[in-house]
Chain A
Amino acid sequence: MIKEGKIGPYEASGLIIITIITKVFLSSPRALADYVGTASWYTSIISALTAALGFGFIYFLIKRFPGKDLVHILQLALGRLPGGIFSLALGGYLLFNAALISRELIEALKIFQYPLTPPDFILLFLGLGAFFPVYLGLESISRVAGLWFYLIIFGLLSLLLLAIPLYDVSNLFPILGYGIKRSVGHGIVRSSAYGEVVILALLINSLQGHGHFKRIGLYSIAISGALISFSLLCYTMFENYPVLKENTIPILSVAREIVYGRFFTRFEAVYIFVWTLSSAVAIAIYLYSTITIFSKVINVDDYRPLILPFFITYYSISMFIPDFSSLMLLVEWSREYGSLFLFGIPLIGFIFSLVRGIKGGG
């Protein structure tokens, strides 16, 4: 068994919330505005509700096998080899997501602040930042998340609230966007945005019980849903809907236009901090989950020797993407089909365990 330690509900929810809302800082709001226009803010709520439903299945699955984490459950329900393969698929998706998020962050940083710095160099730095918490273990990652949780939320909210003079409620209209059907459809498809709650199922043994697991998961979805929805609401109010899809890094564009008097005009600095801190935490937990999934599947007791190979893989995937437009394509792909991995795999496990009537003992 890998020694994972215990994490409290506060740290665990902070971790999941940070991981989920990291996407808001990147290009996601733009894509949503492109698809559903003015409806993005409640589309995200629909996504959150869908994710809560998916989480419910994960919860029932976990509850059937007390004391086991998702990888072991999958192996029990599907059989050792298929379960392992499905777990690895989930891990692979998380690794891929980590690579995408870092690449997105790097591209954004390059566009906005460091045009001459090579992307590999920025990634090396980002990887270094993520490496330390991963090396030091789950407790460390979760506490770092807990430590900077308030700062990140405060930074995000202060940026959004300071921009109030820029908002025009009328920009929320026409209220239904491109039609309710399209909004709901996209909302359900994009529930992968909240799919990170599945990470909780991997860390179940550190969470001190199923009650905690359920609470943490639902709270995380609710809080991050509220935050994401609020950010999208603010962004929608910021500009008329045809203009929304212009901005590469939407929330940054909002932040850059904040003006209070002649001095309080420059909030990009706050943005960079909030942005990079949350991304580093998210990447750390993605990689940690991937590495632990792998070590559980191959039955290795310590995950640390695997860190370096996985970091190299992550680095390579991230650097393999040639340009920004293909990155955007991949990100869209990941958001649209992500639910299949994040919620689909536990669902398969759930169905199989029901059909085969397997139940785990303590």
Chain B
Amino acid sequence: MNPTQQKLLEVNNLSVSFSTYEGVVHAVNNISFDLKNGESIAIVGESGCGKSASMFAIMGLHNRAITRITADSILFDGRDLRRASENEMNNIRGKDIAMIFQDPMTSFNPVLSIRTQICEALKLHFRMNRKQAEERALELLSLVGIPDPKSRLDDYPHQFSGGMRQRAMIAMALACDPKILIADEPTTALDVTIQAQIMDLVKELQQKLHMSIIWITHDLGVVANIAERVNVMYGGYIVENGRAEDVFHNPQHPYTIGLLGSLPGIKGREGQRLYSIEGIPPVLYQPAAICPFAPRCEYRTERCLQENPPLISRNGTAEHHAACWVELRQQQGATV
């Protein structure tokens, strides 16, 4: 990684909260991260940890009526997205920042052909005419490896298999040469062999098209395969971040250690009990006054129940941080 790489996206102190019948839910709390040109990062966490909510906030996709988004800044290519008007956002969304989703079946419009759906963005953003758009659509479909694209162009989403549908969605996302691709659990609904195909495809396309990628996932295996840097989220907070090697080989937050330990590992250890984190993830009706992981944590100290720890630098590097008061040494459970 080149240290002089320019930051393409920089998010500072982003918070997202929703008004619900049960009260205000603080889904994302003061998270900061950045994405450099051509880099791929991952945001990992379990359902409800705020990983998708933070991405939706950046894209401006939340329902404004019930959502409150605050941030010091969300800088994309030097521009602050918080100040962008709806019109400007429409230009950025789908063009500069594109997104692919978990379930390709529900993210397509079932009553429109693939042709219509891919060409829509091209006509809108590039003012292409029908013929140009169709040519580009064909080019995109063969780029993502859909065999015989010409005959598939007029198919409807339900005529595609799960893997093909995800490819078509990637083609749609790439239509306008985005600078950033946000991949929100794009392989979760797929079988492992198809997942491997899609991950390979995205990595190949990233090289070819020089995109930056944010992967959102709960699958640590997927993260290890694709991400250079990792942000681990828990209860709406980033609890650990760092280079993938550091986070996987020397995890510093008890939650990360627990997550890695609860995986069965590909060799050895059969028959043994898995390390399990007792309890369930929290729903935060207020920003946490104490460490959000403390109730489930086995390293808990007095201080953890008094103050919520900020991200603290680990191992003397500026790249690896963990939000934990306890300094953990090389841990058991860290080896997979």
- The judgment on whether A and B are partners is no
Residues of chain B having any CB pair with chain A under 8 Å: none
